[in-house]
Amino acid sequence: NAGVTQTPKFRVLKTGQSMTLLCAQDMNHEYMYWYRQDPGMGLRLIHYSVGEGTTAKGEVPDGYNVSRLKKQNFLLGLESAAPSQTSVYFCASSLGTREQYFGPGTRLTVT
Amino acid sequence: GDSVTQMEGPVTLSEEAFLTINCTYTATGYPSLFWYVQYPGEGLQLLLKATKADDKGSNKGFEATYRKETTSFHLEKGSVQVSDSAVYFCALSDNTGFQKLVFGTGTRLLVSP
């Protein structure tokens, strides 16, 4: 049972480039989330999804887009990367209002 | 809005010492409270939780009691081990339609032999 997986694990982008982060879960969870973790700021919610085909904005959505075309996958896109998006990105999933399960993270550097 | 405040780290202890990491919260209503742990290079894992006032969550020798009167959820362990070295996050959920978590800034614990 893989739980929550994220690809890639590391990525370096130049300003203005685009990329997509993939999150996959095999627990049949309805809810999925994308967070960013920055030093001294804990985790902040970027976007979330309460089911296949649905997405909603979290606390810091600007500069990001998401899609949930399949229940098991939640994609986070950066259309035009900026240095301020240098961060560690975590995906999580949950079964309703129960415990959230986190992936191992993606470390993104934008130069 | 809801918020969580944790003590700043790092907290440096010797093996077998007593651990306390303070956490206080501000929330409307009656949130659920959580402690998550992040080991180096890994994602967050739920350590323990409490869903109502006076509940005590416990796991792996760690415990925390939901104190509504002091809006606190301090993490304690009687005897820490080197393997407990990690970053600990306090979080709350406002128990609305889905489990939106609000995290504290995290406290790094370093335990030396």
pLDDT (tens digit, 9 = 90+) per residue, A69-108?
999 999 999 999 999 999 999 999 998 766 889 999 999 9
Yes or no, beta carbons of B43 and A102 under 8 Å apart: yes
Of the candidates A85, A34, A87, A71, which has an alpha carbon nearest to the alpha carbon of residue A56? A34
For an interface test with A, which of B103, B107, B108 has the most A Cβ atoms less than 10 Å from its Cβ?
B103
Q: Distance between CA atoms of A108 and A18, rounded to whole angstroms?
A: 12
Q: How close B80 comes to chain A (CA, Å)?
A: 23
The confidence score (pLDDT) of residue A99 equals 81
Q: Distance between CA atoms of A97 and B73, rounded to whole angstroms?
A: 20
The confidence score (pLDDT) of residue B1 equals 82
| The total number of residues written for chain A in this structure | 111
Q: Max alpha carbon distance in chain B (Å)?
A: 45
Residues in chain B closer than 8 A to A98 (CB atoms): 99
Asked if the model's pLDDT at residue A15 lies above 70, the reply is: yes
Position B20 confidence tier, pLDDT thresholds 50, 70, 90: very high
pLDDT in tens, B24-71: 999 988 899 999 999 988 889 999 999 999 999 999 999 999 999 999
Residues in chain A closer than 8 A to B99 (CB atoms): 31, 94, 96-98, 100
Yes or no, beta carbons of A102 and B98 under 8 Å apart: no
Residues in chain B closer than 8 A to A97 (CB atoms): 93, 95, 97-99
Q: How close B95 comes to chain A (CA, Å)?
A: 8
Of the candidates A106, A54, A99, which has an alpha carbon nearest to the alpha carbon of residue A78? A106
Asked if the model's pLDDT at residue B5 lies above 70, the reply is: yes
Using CA atoms, how far residue A15 sits from A21, A80, A85, A87, in Å, is 17, 7, 10, 14
Yes or no, beta carbons of B106 and A45 under 8 Å apart: no
Of the candidates B4, B7, B18, B106, which has an alpha carbon nearest to the alpha carbon of residue B61? B18
Yes or no, beta carbons of A102 and B44 under 8 Å apart: yes
For an interface test with B, which of A34, A43, A88 has the most B Cβ atoms less than 10 Å from its Cβ?
A43
Average pLDDT, chain A: 93
pLDDT in tens, B63-102: 999 999 999 999 999 999 999 999 999 999 877 666 778 9
Of the candidates A77, A75, A79, A92, which has an alpha carbon nearest to the alpha carbon of residue A22? A75
Q: Is B1 on the interface with A (CB under 8 A)?
A: no
Of the candidates B30, B29, B28, which has an alpha carbon nearest to the alpha carbon of residue B1? B28
Contact A90, A105 (CB under 8 A): yes
**Going by C-beta distance under 8 Å and a sequence separation of 6 or more, which residues neighbour residue A62?**
none
Encode A27-56: b = buried (16+ Cβ within 10 Å), e = exposed.
Answer: eebebbbbbbbeeeebbbbbbbbeeeeebe
